[in-house]
Structure 1
Amino acid sequence: MNFDLTDEQSEIKGTAKQFMADRFKPEKVRELAEARAYDDSLYAQMAELGWPGIAVSEDDGGQGLGLVELAVLLEEAGYACAPSQLLGSAGAALVITAAGSPEQRAEWLPRLASGEATGAFGAIGPAAGGEDESTLFCDLPTADVAVVFDAEGALLAPAGELDFEAVEAIDATRSYATISAPAGERMPGDAGAGRDRLAVAIAAELTGIGQRAMEMAVEYARERKQFDRAIGSYQAVSHRCAAMLLGVEESRSLTYYAAWAADAEPESLPLAAAMVSARAADAAWETTASALQVFGGIGFTWEHDLQFWLKRSRVAGRMLGTPGEHRDRVAELAGLGAGSAAGAPA
């Protein structure tokens, strides 16, 4: 594999970074979070750029690119903590592509790719960690269609057919809901592959979240002075920032390896997806929490922007299971024995 982005991927990254910086400034993120709302006009602009369908085939109405290109986009969306329907819609499209019937693909993929419809995803039952448990469904309150993972695979349902309850999660930058029972039409294809591809997309967003939190902390550590010295010159702070960098780079490396595997070596995807799901969730949470420690008292306040990245990292890192559950899967797939390592946190 080539570890560098192609010219086309670099162009996508540059366009996405500028778009997010212009349209999702921290004050805009705060405005939308306080209203717990999306700006549909901004999502329409993303749709005009073809982003919801970037990993959807041209035959299905998309751009015909791959998961690497989608990961590039979602890393920038996470970096901006952009309140939008992009993850829910692009994520649902990934699963429908992998698991949907020809009829399901024809009905929903062109609409998701064009931005005409928006998507959601989540799990219920054993797929969510318990017999009757429901994960937080990403974007369900505003979606047109939802992917529902259950013990048998995945269902596809118009959002209006689901009995759901909107939830005000700690992450106010995105809409969430839980469902009371699975519903919809069974998708006959490979739901596991769809879920793995979705996991990589979530990890890409988590990588961007970690990158932004680290940059916030480093900038503050350079500017804030105690005893006539920048606090970043003290080992306790500089080592904390170094640990953030290690976590973010591990998350990024695993994310792009898994995205490459999805596109070029699908037999390697299950293990790669499990590994990145565990590491990206931990790294994003550890980095945002460490950044909060660098900021000290001001970092704990509602007035400080870091909270939005910290709270999103906590929710996004558990959309498809806890890091401990993902480590269990890594151990199983790698033949390392049943269960997580002793003492591994969940």
Structure 2
Amino acid sequence: MDFDLNDEQRDIQSTAKEFLANRFKAEKVRELAESRSYDDGLDSQIAELGWPGIAISEDDGGQGLGMVELAVLLEQTGYAAAPTPLLGTAGAALVISAAGSDAQRSEWLPKLASGEATGAFGGVSADGESTLFCDLPTADVALVFDGDGALLAPASDLDSTPVEAIDATRSYATVAAAAGERLEGDVDAGRDRVAVAIAAELTGVGQRAMEMAVEYARERQQFGRQIGAYQGVSHRCANMLLNTEESRSLTYFAAWAADAEPESLPVAAAMANARASDAAWDTCANALQVFGGIGFTWEHDLQFWLKRARVAGRMLGSPREHRERVAALVGLGG
């Protein structure tokens, strides 16, 4: 099986990497994080590029591409730690596309695809416990997972409370109770796609943390040698590479399955999200050790990737919960 990107996917990758590197330099990320805000002008440019609608069908106003293309894009937003509501919008659109009625699709998908509206997603359990809703404070429409599937509601209709999460590069809120119109279609398929989208972003987070650490290990000298020459550092860097490649392989297989082999998606999505969550956090933690004391300071930029890894890795449940789902799906549950 050939997992190389095709020409169109490589074009998306290079365009996204260049655009995000130019627009979201470290000082811009810090500026937006410290104000806990998004840049409306930059979000408008992202909408003009068609990114919010990349995985929305052409009939619904989008570009009609697939999960692999969305994964390519979101890996780059994670790499840049870009403060943008793109993940929340993509997540909401994926579930509406998979499970929404014709009326729900026609009301929201064209708006999400064009950037006229932004989306959010999160969950509320049967006992009223809320996850962090990704991008809810700035969203127009929200997707609420509950014990019976999912609900769709205008964001303003939800009883929500903004939360200052440790990840200041994105807006979050909790919801007091699930509310909205019930989605009657295949919610699980939509949720699995959201899990893959999150895994793609986490893969980018891990890639960036690894590159930062490796660059520092090559430049920093101690006792007359580059610190990367010491086994204690080089082994950490090697483990970061293993983490990142495992995350990327599982994520892109799951994205491919979403497009080409949907019967494999439930297991693939859970495996990808579990591994990407653990890998991103472990890579960021190892990078922190490579940097040493300077990495722990507020002035150092590594914090933005480390904090995003922690929060994004819990958006749809913990890695353990995803592994338990894999076990149940393959018949190994207790």
Q: Structure 2-normalised TM-score?
A: 0.99
Which residue does 1:94 correspond to in 2?
94
Which residue does 1:122 correspond to in 2?
122
Which residue does 1:81 correspond to in 2?
81
After TM superposition, list the pairs within 5 Å mapping 1:159-174 onto structure 2. 159-174=155-170
Determine whether 1:291 maps to 2:287.
Answer: yes
Which residue does 2:315 correspond to in 1?
319
- Paired amino acid for 2:280: A
After TM superposition, list the pairs within 5 Å mapping 1:4-83 onto structure 2. 4-83=4-83
1:330 offset after TM fit, Å? 1.0
SS in 1 for 2:131: coil
1:333 offset after TM fit, Å? 1.1
2:300 to 294, 301, 304: 304
2:144 to 139, 144, 148: 148
- Paired amino acid for 2:299: E
- Paired amino acid for 1:134: S
Q: Which runs of 5+ in 1 are unaligned?
A: 339-346
- Paired amino acid for 1:105: R
Q: Deviations over 1:89-147 (max 9, x none)?
A: 11110010001010000000000000000000000015xxxx22100000000000000
SS in 1 for 2:51: coil
1:242 to 238, 247, 267: 238
- Paired amino acid for 2:313: G
Q: Deviations over 1:68-103 (max 9, x none)?
A: 000000000000000001001111100100010100
Q: Deviations over 1:222-245 (max 9, x none)?
A: 111110000000001000000000
1:177 to 166, 173, 177: 173
Q: Deviations over 1:267-325 (max 9, x none)?
A: 00000001011100000000001100100000000000000000000000000000110
Q: Partners of 2:190 and 2:101 in 1: how far apart?
A: 13
Give the aligned CA root-mean-square deviation in angstroms.
Answer: 0.6
Q: Deviations over 1:192-242 (max 9, x none)?
A: 000000000000000000000000000000111110000000001000000
Q: Partners of 1:79 and 1:334 in 2: how far apart?
A: 32
- Paired amino acid for 1:179: V
1:233 to 229, 241, 247: 229
Q: Partners of 2:333 and 2:154 in 1: how far apart?
A: 40
Q: Which runs of 4+ in 1 moved over 4 A?
A: none
Q: Deviations over 1:43-66 (max 9, x none)?
A: 111111110000000000000000
- Paired amino acid for 2:118: T
Q: Partners of 2:295 and 2:158 in 1: how far apart?
A: 39
1:335 offset after TM fit, Å? 1.8
After TM superposition, list the pairs within 5 Å mapping 1:207-218 onto structure 2. 207-218=203-214
- Paired amino acid for 1:163: D
Q: Partners of 2:264 and 2:229 in 1: how far apart?
A: 42
Q: Which runs of 5+ in 2 are unaligned?
A: none
Number of paired residues?
Answer: 334
Q: Partners of 1:221 and 1:334 in 2: how far apart?
A: 42
Q: Partners of 1:334 and 1:280 in 2: how far apart?
A: 20
Q: Which moved more, 1:329-338 or 1:74-83?
A: 329-338
Q: Partners of 2:318 and 2:60 in 1: how far apart?
A: 33
